[in-house]
Amino acid sequence: MLTRILGIESSCDETAAAIVADGREILSSVVASQVEIHRKYGGVVPELASREHLRDIVPVVREALAEAKLTFADIDAIGVTRGPGLVGSLLVGLTYGKVLAMSLGKPLVPVNHLEGHVHAVLLQAHLDNREPEMPAVCLIVSGGHTVLYNVKAELLPAGAARRAGGATVFHFTYSRIGQTRDDAAGEAYDKVGKILALGYPGGPVMDQLAAHGNPNAVRFTAPVTKGNPLDFSFSGIKTAVLRHVRARPEMQPEIAQREEALARGERTAAQLLPLCSAATLDLIASFQRSVVEDLAARTLAAAEQHGARSVLVSGGVAANSELRKHFGSQALLAGLDVFFPSRALSTDNAAMIAAAAYPHLLAGELADSQLNAEANFPLA
């Protein structure tokens, strides 16, 4: 008998619901993105985010059930994001999940959003018929997070495995070995995108535009993070880009042109490319090269230091094409396997929450009536 978990995610600006069987088979996954609403503010506005979650949560859950051709009666448990995230946003999914679990008489499993991102990689590995060898290091790199974990797998106790129909189910343990001291990498992309008038969020468009520039044109120095060399820092490179632009008044007219284009709703890479000079494309490519090399260098150093056998990379920035290429080649040199989620599983979704809930459900780690949202909820 399969265990079907309904996952609910509402930690930031995506309202998502998904149904995952036995922690690995995605039966449905629905994401309602609020990006259009927050775009004109150049970032997520918390009050607007909660309001949209309230509007979307019921239809998104219904759609997830319909897509899986299931009803509430077919669901065995509910997994819901407890944190970290925006407290008003988290509360919408959490309260809905609580009420649903209570009224259906089903168990409720609180999930750490960051553990969800780890499981996004494991879901994809299963889809690809691959199995990452443990221990692993996992880099979670998004608009809100840039953090490195050492991930270990432990077999669940025999009783829990029996409940899983005899299949081998792992429980994962995490220790945080590095994190950003200031901006997240995705935040740096978005801030540079703002400086250069490339729209919001900056990452996806800059990823495409970077392919047209020379990544060695502008030199950025890699930040030194004293104390822990596995920590990151991205506010310096953002400031360096700002200084670079301020020192070149000839860049202003094209920035103004792109701002006008964005105001007309022209925001694709194809529409912005003709409005970018070679100097701008070089700057974007150099910024990206520097960020990607820094992420890979520290992650691979972490893998070596902690004896990892695989490297997992997850979160919105893991969708970046140069990052995927560079991590792939660097990991190969180090004799490590590297795993990414698909682009859809890289960004926030609820399939990863349902998958992360599964081992906790088997281990009986359920929510009590006191369960509350936690804006700062460290995984380790």
Of the candidates 84, 85, 94, the one whose C-alpha atom is nearest the C-alpha of residue 7 is 94
CA 264 from centroid of its chain's CA atoms: 30
- Output 213 or 315, the one with its CB closest to Zn ion: 315
CB of 94 to ligand KG4, least distance (A): 17
- Output 202 or 223, the one with its CB closest to ligand KG4: 202
CB of 157 to Zn ion, least distance (A): 30
CB of 250 to ligand KG4, least distance (A): 27
Of all residues in the shown chain, the one whose CB is closest to ligand KG4 is 316
Question: What does the block give as tokens for 156?
Answer: 């669940």
373 binds, among ligand KG4, Zn ion, none (CB under 5 to 8 A by kind): none
Question: Which range, of 146-154, 221-229, 275-283, 345-353, touches Zn ion by CB under 5 A?
Answer: 345-353
190 binds, among Zn ion, ligand KG4, none (CB under 5 to 8 A by kind): ligand KG4
143 binds, among Zn ion, ligand KG4, none (CB under 5 to 8 A by kind): ligand KG4
Q: Is 193 helix (H, G, I), strand (E, B) or coil?
A: helix
203 binds, among Zn ion, ligand KG4, none (CB under 5 to 8 A by kind): ligand KG4
150 binds, among ligand KG4, Zn ion, none (CB under 5 to 8 A by kind): none
- Output 142 or 280, the one with its CB closest to Zn ion: 142
What gap in Å lies between CA 24 and CA 31, rounded to an integer? 18
Per-residue x/- mask for Zn ion, residues 291 to 330, rule CB under 5 A? ----------------------------------------
- Output 181 or 324, the one with its CB closest to ligand KG4: 324
Per-residue x/- mask for Zn ion, residues 141 to 180, rule CB under 5 A? -x--------------------------------------
What gap in Å lies between CA 49 and CA 159, rounded to an integer? 41
What gap in Å lies between CA 115 and CA 120, rounded to an integer? 9
Question: What does the block give as tokens for 375?
Answer: 């804006």
| Residue 348 binding Zn ion, by CB under 5 A | yes
What gap in Å lies between CA 32 and CA 292, rounded to an integer? 29
CB of 140 to Zn ion, least distance (A): 8
The residues near 204 (Cβ < 8 Å, ≥ 6 apart) are: 269, 319
Interface with ligand KG4 by CB under 6 A: which residues? Answer: 12, 142-144, 186, 189-190, 201-204, 207, 315-317, 319-320, 347-348
Residue 307, class by beta-carbon neighbours within 10 Å (0-12 exposed, 13-18 middle, 19+ buried)?
A: exposed
Question: What does the block give as tokens for 199?
Answer: 């729209």
Q: Are 359 and 171 in contact (CB under 8 A)?
A: yes
CA 328 from centroid of its chain's CA atoms: 19
314 binds, among ligand KG4, Zn ion, none (CB under 5 to 8 A by kind): none
Q: Are 376 and 41 in contact (CB under 8 A)?
A: no
What are the DSSP E strand ranges found in 14-93?
14-21, 25-33, 77-83
| Residue 187 binding Zn ion, by CB under 5 A | no
Of the candidates 91, 51, 287, the one whose C-alpha atom is nearest the C-alpha of residue 183 is 287
Residues that bind Zn ion (CB under 5 A): 142, 348
